[in-house]
Chains A and B, each alone.
Chain A
């Protein structure tokens, strides 16, 4: 199969678009549009990049959720990382974190002052960096959802087996399902359905959404990241809504299994335990993060360096919190596109490639005609 084009076929896209319009029309006139939250940043980006919003009827509203790990990383975490870097520790990070504002500064500024910060594409590169610098402490900035956490756990496991002692992780891992509970009951949001992430679901499995789906009677449809996947997912949501159903529908079953990736889940359970986690713009959510288990604590940078991750402060004008909760569109933020741009981001949603503000700035502006 040609994976580059099979899921972007314009003819199929046209058919799905027509079907979505037809199904939405059957819903009849309502006071408010059907609100679907796409939880994952990669969905947000794919929706914008493919111009999907412009293909939907005005009675369907796609709301971007908090599923960009960079965007939900609190400023206090960045502050702690900068303190580590300034003290001579080598940091290893994904590039997106460099420009995320801490309380007063960014990692990019720390690097320009001379801090040793290595940008990598894969966690395994941190492993090699630590091996090459056996006399130096190397800290990997461990942010991400289940998709990213699993390969980091694999890297830590290997470091443990080989006996690498100069590598540790500053964790700010997040889990998707606990956030969905909070979003589902938010009266201001009034969500009608979740479009659930593709890659996260490949790890956690379709069954992981059952509790959210049942507790809040909210349709959850797992969709891939290709345009046809997304349109098909929206169609699936409309069908559930029209039939007054609320179930977990795995439309990405070419990748996602009901029980997820067993090997990855076992590894995660072996290394990490659930913990409360601070989500930028949302606050502390119980059991929504992962921290090292006691027997893995030598890899925990917070313990190794006796580091305290404080709350930190954000620019009070920044509306990223409301954007992350889907309460406002990026274009409603007074800083959007003026003081805050991808070149000079003020909030994290403008920094990350998968941030909602960045997606809107790059692909949708203040309104693209349909």
Chain B
């Protein structure tokens, strides 16, 4: 291209010279011819000839001068062009460099000419923020519109005050909207270009995407708040064990100061050994030392000492942390004052000990009582049996002995029930067997045949046919016996007793219901007492207040539950639920 242009230039200068010479020569020849024809056959032909020759010589000479001038011109043009060419190359290279730098720094460059408010973005606006080329606006408004509303006011105030002050540098952090509507944290730096009068005419800026740094910064700040704000004391130590077995403290939070009374500056650079004292657990201290030697996490609970010398229970962890390369860099310790918990624990242990002892004593007591009551009672029964064979004539003595006999039998029953309760309570794991419920009922009816024959209740028995339970037969008997006896005992004297006994299998449960139309129990008053020990709800002379307590104990010892529904004057329903396999 360069040579072509030069070629054309050379041809041109030669041609121009040639044409100039030819035209002048043509004019000279024509002029000469005309001149000769006007002054035809004149005398001075030689003079004309001389003039003619002279003209031609002038023409050739002026042609030569023109040629020289043209050549000079050409040479100047050439050097200017070469200079231009070099500048061009420099500009191009500079442009490339700028592009590469922008790419390398991932900066998005903008160029704002204030006079006509033209705003030019480099490719970063597409690459970093996802805008399409055609969507990128060409004025400063487009830029301002994309600044997060929360940041825009602060940012524009800063920017305009900068423009007013006419300083050269400006930088700010704000959120800039991407094409998808999300915001990126950016760091924007601008430089102002001024005209000769010092008026700003142009501003060039570079936007850096700092979203990641910003997020990391926020995350770190959040994590830092956790450490500084937490109610747990936090202590960080280095890993240097050359001077002390437990490395020196480099950080403590305010909760630590609250807990120990030591401000940070008094403990930093010192070993946590200073918190151990006379009453501290030496075994726990050794455990900590070993853990530190082995870089293993460790949990310690010991008595520690505050700045005031006051002792307290501390519970703390010591956890090794590693840096990015996986090298142990620090120990982090979370600490808690557990004095109160310790004391409560102690109290609880003491309470449990006392309760266990009490319970043991009571159990022993009840055994002894029942046995010691039983022995003389059985004598009384035996002696009364003997009296039965003797005919007593004295009616008063007979009456006395009758009363004596009745009381003895009642006492005997009570003690038998009590002993049963003791056995149930002391024997949580009882023998269980397969029991046919029908058989149990037959047994119960046989035992109650006298009562049944006297009171003639209407018994409606609705038992599922092959109902077999994995339970204790004698308990079940006792339960049925108690419930049925209760139903008969507490019948309504004004109407015939009706008892409905039914079993039903629902899912995994066997439900047994005992329903009577007796006098009922006021449950609103007595709900919490009904299955209690020695609770009597009716003024009956032979009521001991033991039956339902016994029933509940037996049901529960077999993993079942019992509930009651009752209306005074209408009747009572007991529902027993057992697991059914």
Partners in one complex: no
Interface residues of B, Cβ cutoff 8 Å to A: none
Q: Spell out A's residues near B (CB within 8 Å).
A: none
